Amino acid sequence: MAADNRRPDRVAEAIREVVATFLAEGVKDPRVVGLVTVTGVDVTRDLRHAKVFVSIMGSDAERAATIDGLASVAGHLRARVGRELRLRLAPEIAFRVDEAIARAARIESLL
């Protein structure tokens, strides 16, 4: 039973690696600009949905464009995750901006 509880964590970590590799290879969507870093992945217990948290360096306009671009490649990424991880059902991928790093940088600049 304990091993079953860790599976979503293992899948989340594997998804994080696949998405990070995909982003490092360069996304074909021209809207994805600036430096995008995968900060974490949350997967539901049934492995049907994955929230990918990303930190995006750049202006607000660049961040908004990048999120739109990432949303448009989510379907392709879902297929790639399913293929690379050999999952029967690849999770729906949703990108979320992780504000923690930006907030930390802002606090650092204020200090």
Confidence at residue 33, expressed as pLDDT on a 0 to 100 scale: 80
| Per-residue pLDDT reduced to its tens digit, 10-24 | 999 999 999 999 988
Angstrom distance (rounded) from CA 82 to CA 77: 9
| Per-residue pLDDT reduced to its tens digit, 30-83 | 888 878 889 999 999 999 999 999 988 888 888 889 999 999 999 999 999 999
Specify burial of residue 64 (Cβ count, 10 A radius: 0-12, 13-18, 19+).
Answer: middle
Neighbouring residues of 53: CB distance < 8 A, sequence distance ≥ 6: 38, 39, 40, 41, 42, 96, 97, 98
Q: Answer yes or no: are the C-beta atoms of 8 and 41 closer than 8 Å.
A: no
Q: What is the mean pLDDT of the chain?
A: 87
| 1 — pLDDT class (breaks 50, 70, 90) | very low
Total count of residues recorded for the chain: 111
Confidence at residue 78, expressed as pLDDT on a 0 to 100 scale: 93
Confidence at residue 53, expressed as pLDDT on a 0 to 100 scale: 94
Confidence at residue 2, expressed as pLDDT on a 0 to 100 scale: 52
Confidence at residue 50, expressed as pLDDT on a 0 to 100 scale: 95
